[in-house]
Amino acid sequence: GVDMQAVPYKGGAPLLTDLRGGQIPVSFNVVSEVLPHIRAGSLRALAVSAPTRWKALPDTPTLTELGYKDVAFVDWLGWYGPAGMERAKVAALNTAVNDALASAAMKDVIDKNGLEVMRVTPEGLAKAIRENHAFWAHVVKVTGFKPED
């Protein structure tokens, strides 16, 4: 029941300029782009799309809490290597990445940018990719989204 028009931007900086300048009334952004502006008071967080409240914005409700029961998603990143990489090398890289993410230096960077870490196995990442694909395939199907939209 919300009537919104998608406006493509060439990156977060031009979008934030228009949002902060009042040329657009609202936007969806990744938390790391908007958090400094929220903390400075030049933007207001209205809701988060995650299924639970975001650690960096504990007073900001989720879209689910606001009554949008079917809207819950989180952007995430993964580490990838070439197809056919040896299992031992994959395991070693996975351990190294997870160890780095647990370090004090990375914790500071992660917290400063309002990020949350999901340390997973390669199999867990493959499962997340499959689930993410199924989720967005469903969204595309029920909304009738077309690439030119």
Q: How far is CA 85 from the centre of its chain?
A: 27
Q: What is the pLDDT of residue 105?
A: 92
Domain 1-75 grouped into CATH 3.30.565.10:
no
Q: Is the distance from CB of 73 to CB of 135 less than 8 angstroms?
A: yes
Q: How far is CA 57 from the centre of its chain?
A: 14
Domain boundaries, the chain: 1-75, 78-149
What's the pLDDT tens digit per position in 38-77?
999 999 999 999 889 988 999 999 999 999 887 778 888 8
Instruction: Kindly indicate the confidence band of residue 115, based on its pLDDT and cuts at 50, 70 and 90.
Output: confident
Distances (CA, A) of 131 to 29, 39, 82, 111, 117: 22, 33, 21, 26, 18
